[in-house]
Amino acid sequence: MKKIVLAMAAASVVGFSASAQAASTVCVFDLLGKAGDSYKMMEEWALAAKGWGTEINLVPRQDEAVADNDFKAGKCDAVAMTAMRARQYNKFAGSIDSLGGVPNNQIAQRAITYVLDARNAAKMTTNLGGKKYEVAGISPLGSAFIFVRDKNINSVEKAAGKKFAVLGYDDAQKIMVQRVGAQAVLSDISNFAAKFNNGQVDMVGAPAYAYKPLELNKGLGANGVMWNFPVLHVTADLVLRADKFPAGFGQKSRDWFVKQLPKNFAMINRLEAQIPGKYKMNLSAEDKLKYQKMLRDGRMDLTKRGIYDAGMMSVLKKARCSVDKANFECSMPGE
């Protein structure tokens, strides 16, 4: 009897050890670390993954470049980070964040739901350098708006010559800022807000999600405004090393992310409403149309350059025109 008990105990230890070894490490970028909303959402995801038979070990990273480098070095089996940086692993999914591609939350929800559907599973996997990657989730972070330190910068024309913080690894931002005649100041997600707040740059683009934690009100001061016009929709991607997870895991994960969308967008709507009205500068209908056309021209150019995925541009156009059939572009060829 004693031998049987010892054998059972040994087996349970071995089983526990194997289970512990099987835990997949996921690096999660969140500027606020474990206190951030993105990390907290990933904790909920990890709990769901346990129900699918996969143990997850979450590792918070407050520097996105470190999270990406750890993933590249094999220290993480998966990484959750902004789609602008994740685009290198999957251009299709990473192109949802295209300039002017997703002008409101309704279109964003429709586009993300479609992309994560099982019919697009093949597009969620890529082979790069002999390694197979899979996008296992997309989360909306909200529309990016232009914040300016001086309310007199109230048009694209007046942005000429002004310093605009751009993410150094996103060629789309650099090219577009140069197109309008502004000076692109290379930055990172960890320091672009500080440059705006201390006056090193005149303008930044950011979602409402970033307004409070990055204290953008300091940069706005008494004279700044936010252009109440969405330039793009910011998303985050969960990218896996496909061989580190069980077969079918990716689609279960994508289905879970789709179920979170109503809650995600409710939070985004709350955050956008919390930005004080005194900072919101509304554009005229004429200026909105002009900027939509400008963003469309820029988007098509960036697609030709290979920065955006042409297939995703088609998906986004269909989403835009299904919501607003009277949109000027719906009767036009292209995208």
What are the pLDDT digits (tens) for 200-250? 999 999 999 999 999 999 999 999 999 999 999 999 999 999 999 999 999
Helices 105-115 and 249-274, packing angle to 10 deg: 170
- The answer to whether residues 42 and 80 touch, using CB atoms and an 8 Å cutoff, is yes
What's the rounded mean pLDDT across residues 297-318? 96
In this model, does residue 139 exceed pLDDT 90?
yes
pLDDT in tens, 85-115: 999 999 999 999 999 999 999 999 999 999 9
pLDDT in tens, 238-279: 999 999 999 999 999 999 999 999 999 999 999 999 999 999
- The answer to whether residues 77 and 23 touch, using CB atoms and an 8 Å cutoff, is no
CA 149 – CA 222 distance, rounded (Å): 9
SS3 206: strand
DSSP one-letter code for 104: S
Percentage of residues of the chain with pLDDT beyond 90: 91
Fold of 144-233+276-327: D-Maltodextrin-Binding Protein; domain 2 (3.40.190)
Domains of the chain, residue spans: 2-141+234-272, 144-233+276-327
Nearby residues of 149 by Cβ (< 8 Å), 6 or more positions away: 196, 199, 202, 203, 219, 220, 221, 223, 224
Categorize the per-residue pLDDT at 334 as very low, low, confident or very high, splitting at 50, 70 and 90: confident
The domain over range 2-141+234-272 is classified in CATH as 3.40.190: yes
In this model, does residue 291 exceed pLDDT 60?
yes
Categorize the per-residue pLDDT at 13 as very low, low, confident or very high, splitting at 50, 70 and 90: very low
Concatenated DSSP letters of 242-270: GGGS-TTHHHHHHHHHHHHHHHHHHHHHH
DSSP one-letter code for 279: G
Query: Sign (positive/negative) of CA torsion 200, 217, 151, 106?
Result: positive
Burial profile 296-308: b = 16 or more Cβ within 10 angstroms, e = fewer: bebbebbbeeebb
CB neighbours of residue 8 within 10 Å: 10
SS3 291: helix
What's the rounded mean pLDDT across residues 152-177? 95
